[in-house]
Copies of this chain bind each other. A is one copy, B any other.
Amino acid sequence: MNILLLNPNTSVSITDRLTHVAQAIAAPGTRIAGLTAPRGVPYISGRAESQIAGAVLLEMMADYPEPYDAAIVAAFGDPGLAAARELFDVPVIGMAEAAMLTACMLGERFAIVTFAASLGDWYRDCVAASGLLPRLAGIRFSAEPFSSIERVASEREDALVELCVAAVEQDGADVILLGGAPLAGLAARIASRVPVPLVEQVHAALLQAETLVRLGVRKATAGSFARPAAKPTLGLSPRLAVRIEHQDV
């Protein structure tokens, strides 16, 4: 199957890392196409940037020239997830949503550990939107600075392990998610130092994408995730306009 891994921020190095981590766990027949947002910011950390990135994500999906079987929103706060799920015909997976739902099969309450306060605030909105706040043990973040988002995972590794342990001992977490694309791949490195299951966000997203494709579910033609009725558009990117105007039918 062909899976689109959509990095809604503009950092190609992050896209490369996400694709690499995803490929490592993919089934033999799964091909992953990693795409980087053509517009936006190098890393997304709040509501405004997420609003913009979510709209760009729709363009990225509309613009992709080849057929694909599923798409992954590869930023932990899942910008544009519900919009993409409504507008397009293939399953769309959010990296945060996939990690949270997977965590729910490993324990009663999960914690999210990340590397910046602003991410913690945004991620909390994301948990709330999914209705999973009752399953959230807490969100912990490292407040100290780092030299670059490419290096934050290695530079702050010990601090992140300490936050994981605190989430278990003080917040009652049964499972932990490391949130934020720059932490992709970290779970495997620190799993032995954390006493509860760690869900690798990229792995969860890729595996859930494969799951939905293998399930073979159809696109809704009724209900709130049916494709919206055709509408005229003004000034949108050409392929996105085609999709909204139903010129592809």
Contacts and interface: CB of A to CB of B under 8 A. Distances in A.
A103 to B, nearest CB: 9
Interface of A: 10, 25, 27, 38-43, 45-52, 54-56, 58, 80, 82-87, 91, 93-94, 97-98, 101-102, 104-109, 118, 121-122, 124-125, 129-135, 168-169, 172-175, 191-192, 195-200, 203-204, 207-208, 210-212, 214-215, 217-226, 228-229, 231-236, 240, 244
14 contacts: A25-B214, A40-B234, A49-B231, A51-B55, A51-B58, A52-B83, A54-B55, A97-B104, A118-B229, A121-B172, A191-B217, A197-B218, A203-B214, A207-B215
A180 B42 CA distance: 36
Nearest to A111: B223
B215 A199 contact: yes
B47 A82 contact: yes
B174 A223 contact: yes
B41 A83 contact: no
Contacts of A58: 48, 51-52
Count of chain copies? 6
Given A118-B229, A196-B225, A52 B55 contact: yes
A174 B214 contact: no
A208 B231 CA distance: 32
A11 to B, nearest CB: 10
Top 4 A-B residue pairs of the complex, sorted by shortest distance between their CB atoms: A39-B235, A121-B224, A51-B83, A195-B222
Given A41-B244, A58-B52, A200-B215, A223 B235 contact: no
B223 A172 contact: yes
Given A93-B105, A107-B224, A195-B221, A236 B39 contact: yes
A197 B224 contact: no
Contacts of A124: 224
Contacts of A43: 231
Contacts of A232: 41-42
A228 B108 contact: no
B106 A212 contact: yes
Contact of A41 (B10, B85, B233): B233
